[in-house]
Homo-oligomer: A and B are copies of this chain.
């Protein structure tokens, strides 16, 4: 149905090779160039990327595998990644792992079948087995936002630990000592943030009673329940650290339904996403991740690897070139709102 270079050949009388050369930016007589352009125009010719890919065994496509596409964090990253890759002449092929390691593994295999040139991965779990097919294909991989066990991978992420440390530090600096944490132990970023919090509490010699430590999933549900429970406590906390967007959502929801006021009765600090702050009243004090930076660095790193790969894929003696893997840890920023009050107790 669609036109091929053969149709162009028939139309112009030139050979396939000449046309191919035109397509790939070679030199030819202006006269022939014109002929070809005219034919392309008339036939609505477009390169068949499958055929081209079959020959060149590269696709000019980056595979982007995200743990969960249905959230703002991921989408924003996708936007920035896409822009960057587009500028560099690559298209991106986005796959959603739906928070399921099985689907994730399928995605990798799928993208290998599509012969993507490189991979950006926000992984679901912690183990790197699912990347086997990509490793075997020997294409560059950059992990985003989360690292993998054993590592050895290129990786760009946020310094969750330090940011959480500073967040709780801020609560302390306002005089709070009855501090609760709603977070997660089961999610990678959750664990890191938790550790940061606990580290500061330890340093400040603040004990956190078990009923103040609410660990579960990064879900609205968990945030909602936990906040409810905290508020019903005999001695409720004076301040709460909330570990991610969904938790904040649920927690603020529970708070709004209660008789408690923020910051009069309870102070809040949360991790993730500036949008929330604009909606809630009073404005939430937040730890905000540098999403643009995160995406740009990851894209640039992958693009660089792609470049390197083209240049000197292997050492002269035929040995696999051992490249140092790069780990970029970006700082998060605390944006102050009005959700923290000086604690008088």
Q: What residues make up the interface of A, taking CB atoms closer than 8 Å to B?
A: 1-2, 44, 46-51, 53-54, 59, 68-72, 74-76, 78-79, 82-83, 86, 91-96, 98, 103, 109-110, 112-115, 132-133, 136-138, 220, 249-250, 252-253, 256, 275-276, 278-283
Q: How distant is the Cα of A51 from the Cα of B68 in the complex, in angstroms?
A: 30
Residues of B near A91 (CB, < 8 A) are: 95, 110
Once the chains bind, are B2 and A136 in contact (CB under 8 Å)? yes
Beyond A46-B109, A49-B113, A112-B46, whether A249 also contacts B220 by CB under 8 A is no
Cβ-defined contact, A113 with B47, below 8 A: yes
> Which of B68, B110, B278 contacts A220, CB < 8 Å?
B278
Contact of A71 among B75, B86, B281 (CB under 8 A): B75
Q: What 14 new A-B contacts, CB under 8 Å, besides A2-B137, A44-B136?
A: A46-B133, A47-B113, A48-B113, A48-B115, A50-B51, A50-B53, A71-B72, A75-B75, A86-B103, A92-B95, A93-B94, A253-B279, A280-B280, A280-B281
Q: How far is the CA of A48 from the CA of B57 in the complex (A)?
A: 10
Contacts of A132 in B (CB 8 A): 44
A275 CB → nearest B CB, Å: 7
What 8 A-B pairs are tightest by C-beta distance, nearest first? Answer: A49-B113, A70-B79, A94-B94, A256-B281, A50-B53, A253-B278, A75-B75, A279-B279
CA distance A225 to B322 in the complex (A): 55
Chain B residues, CB < 8 A from A137 = 1-2
